[in-house]
Amino acid sequence: MSRVLVTGAASGVGLALARRLTDQGVAVIGVDRAEIPVPLAQTVRLDLTDFAAVRETAATITEPLDGIANVAGVPGTAPAATVLGVNVVGTRVLTEALLPRLAEGGAVVTVASIAAHRNTLAPEALAQLCTVDSAAGLSAWLEEFPLSGSEAYNTSKAALVAWSARLAARLLPRARAVSVSPGPVCTPILADFRTSMGAESIDRAGALVGRHAEPGEVAAAAAFLLGPGASWVNGIDLPVEGGLAAARAHLTESAERTTR
């Protein structure tokens, strides 16, 4: 039986992924700061902003892992330090600590977001963020690059996409790393995104493609990428957004033709 660790397993995409993998016969280690409402092979209560606890928790996981699914994340309604602490630093610290347990042929799948394109910081700043591994280091980074919670969310997702690509290169040829970038998803924190990104923007995205994603649809993509069927999919970011980018491009092209 394969074994996969899933963060953010208490709700939303993480919960949908944990359920899907369990139904497929995978032994799931669910990690969340909240109680996980479904039976899994193992559950771990963990706050990803407590980096010492993250390392301690990783040390207790001694069996080989066939996959690591980084799904946990907080929206831009939270303070910037919390957003970056969970979405980037805690995620990276946990993953790096678990890499020695990752079996040959395994995969790291990290949930980013199409909001990554809203990031305004240079690649060098993102690379610097992806070296932060302590609360003091995060505070120092934020002093150099002060961000609001909403800006930190966009930056966090851009950092995850960049880090995942670099991780893929590092893991070759033993294992894979891929990021997944959803558009708006009907999860408990969708209301937070309406607040931090603007209700009009979220509603407009839903109108363009007909609806928002269901958690299981994003989980299905992540489950595929974790499995052997995706053995030659590596180092990419997979948009899972129902054709939103294509619809926006078509609207732009249509508007340009109209004004000619």
Fold of 3-259: Rossmann fold (3.40.50)
Asked if residues 73 and 33 have their Cβ atoms less than 8 Å apart, the reply is no
Q: What is the pTM of this model?
A: 0.95
**255: confidence class by pLDDT, cuts 50, 70, 90:** low
pLDDT at 253: 75
Quick: pLDDT tens for 165-190: 999 999 999 999 999 999 999 999 99
pLDDT at 191: 92
Neighbours of 150 (CB within 10 A): 21
Indicate the domain borders of the chain: 3-259
Q: What is the mean pLDDT of the chain?
A: 96
Q: Is residue 86 annotated as part of the catalytic site, yes or no? A: no
Residue of 151, 209, 163 lying closest to 182 (CA atoms): 209
Amino acid at site 82: T
Report the 3 state secondary structure along 42-73.
EEEECCCCCHHHHHHHHHHCCCCEEEEEECCC
Q: Quick one: average pLDDT of 68-84?
A: 97
Distance CA 142, CA 1 (A): 43
Distance from the first to the final alpha carbon of the chain = 60
Q: Say which of 153, 156, 175, 219 is annotated catalytic.
A: 153
Quick: pLDDT tens for 122-138: 999 999 999 999 999 99
pLDDT more than 70, % of the chain: 97
Q: Quick one: average pLDDT of 28-49?
A: 98
Q: Is the peptide bond before 75 cis (omega within 30 degrees of 0)?
A: no
